[in-house]
Amino acid sequence: MQAISNLLLDKFHDLSDPEFIRDFESVAQIQKVKQGEMIIDYGDFISFVPLVISGLIKVSRTNEEDREILLYFLSGGDTCASSFSCCMIKKRSEIQAIAEEDSTLIAIPMEAADRWMSEYKVWRDFVFSNYDQKMYQLIDTIDRLAFSQLDQKLIDYLEDRSRFTDDGVIHVTHSVIAHDLNVSREAVSRMLKKMENQGMVTLERNSITLND
């Protein structure tokens, strides 16, 4: 198996400090997760920070009305900003992370992730940069929920998911899309059919291709 430091540097180039790498190799662990597997659940005390090497992770949360809201996706080279805050102030998780496909993670123990904030500038810069990036993604998500009509929400959703495919084919059911967008499956199916008639998408069984 490829050395864990090589897996890290292949996706997280900014963490290349030699002293940090030596410390990283002594504590980090490779974790394989299967499609559909729960990685972080609501109310968990998070014991590690996940660095995604490959695959796709969906991060969501439930609002006061018990409706699930999609926050963002994580793929190779991403990490979960929410896990940092939960780890470092030792609070229970307010998000849920599920593997959308078979994925490989590097798990960083909570104690190491916390300690590195004061010991390594490369790690501290990485954490703050990730917070900044995910904050803009969350603002965009809020804007979509508040201001977009279903057609625009659906286009944005499909464009977002297509970024994580090699061939542009999005393997997802209408029910999953409806769940992620907090709308009815019937509304999603009607809108997708309309988009297909306009040449915007190609629909197959449990797959969608977003056309140029």
Q: What is the pLDDT of residues 127-157, one digit of tens each?
A: 888 888 877 777 776 666 655 688 888 998 9
For 60-101, write each residue's pLDDT tens digit: 887 666 777 888 889 999 988 777 777 667 778 888 999 999
Give the architecture-level CATH label for domain 149-210. Answer: Orthogonal Bundle (1.10)
Give the residue range(s) of CATH 1.10.10.10 domains in the chain: 149-210
How far is CA 52 from each of CA 11, 33, 103, rounded to the nearest angstrom?
A: 8, 11, 8
Q: Taking the complete model, does pTM exceed 0.75, yes or no?
A: no
Query: Can you say whether residue 66 is alpha, beta or left, with left for phi > 0 and alpha for psi between -120 and 50 degrees?
Result: left
- Position of tokens 């593997």? 99
Give the residue range(s) of CATH 2.60.120.10 domains in the chain: 4-146
**CATH numeric code, 4-146:** 2.60.120.10
CB atoms inside a 10 Å sphere around CB 133: 14
Phi, psi angles (nearest 5°) of residue 160:
-65, -45
Angle between helices 150-162 and 174-181 (to 10 degrees): 110
Q: Could you give the CA distance from residue 60 to residue 141 in angstroms, rounded to a whole number? A: 11
